[in-house]
């Protein structure tokens, strides 16, 4: 039985990861899920947060926001709306995005403005968390 699984992570713009890995953990809309080789097939929508994969026992982290994951016994395909490897995340940009989102939340006039500001706040916070988690795991 194979002890690795093919992992492809793409966004509309680019291929972010294409590797044979030992494990993929991802933020599904209904909570985290983990995939080992020979997993039963399933589909999941992605939420916003940190995805990680293991190669040689080492974890690599990627921020993802929205999209889908398709799992088959020998392959994990993630089609993410937005994805950045931990080392690509501009933390200063995320901190500024967080400050803007907090102000917009306070000033929101209706539910749509509130929901947009809240989504921007979650993205910014999860980007910072992904960077921190990746640096702590080294
Ligand atoms: P911002 O307000 O800083 O643009 P955002 O959450 O609105 O943040 P998104 O709409 O999620 O940004 O992403 C737009 C593009 O910018 C995507 O290609 C995404 O990968 C990139 N991006 C956004 N924020 C960052 C960041 N802090 N570091 C690296 N890339 C980022």
* Ligand 1 closest atom vs CA 65: 11
pLDDT band for position 57 (cuts 50, 70, 90): confident
User: How far, in Å, is the centroid of ligand 1 from the Cα of 7?
Assistant: 23
- Sequence-distant (≥ 6) Cβ neighbours of residue 7 within 8 angstroms: 17, 18, 19, 20, 21, 24, 53, 75, 76, 78
Q: What is the reported pTM? A: 0.96
pLDDT (average), residues 74-82:
97
List of domains in the chain: 5-87 (2.60.15.10), 89-136 (1.20.5.440)
Nearest CA to ligand 1 atom 11: 82
Tokens, residue 19: 């590797």
Tokens, residue 44: 């999941």
Distance of CA 41 to the CA centre of its chain: 20
pLDDT band for position 1 (cuts 50, 70, 90): low
Q: At residue 23, does pLDDT exceed 80?
A: yes
């Amino acid at each position: 039985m194979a002890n690795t699984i093919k992992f492809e992570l793409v966004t509309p713009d680019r291929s972010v990861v294409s590797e044979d890995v030992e494990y993929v953990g991802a933020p599904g809309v209904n909570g985290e899920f983990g995939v080992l080789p020979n997993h039963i097939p399933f589909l999941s929508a992605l939420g916003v947060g940190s995805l990680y994969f293991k190669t040689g026992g080492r974890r690599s982290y990627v921020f993802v926001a929205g999209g889908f994951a398709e799992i088959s016994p020998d392959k994990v395909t993630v089609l993410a709306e937005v994805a950045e490897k931990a080392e690509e995340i501009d933390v200063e940009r995320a901190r500024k995005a967080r400050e803007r989102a907090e102000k917009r939340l306070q000033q929101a006039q209706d539910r749509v403005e509130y929901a947009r500001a809240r989504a921007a706040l979650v993205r910014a916070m999860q980007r910072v968390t992904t960077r921190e988690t990746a640096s702590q795991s080294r």
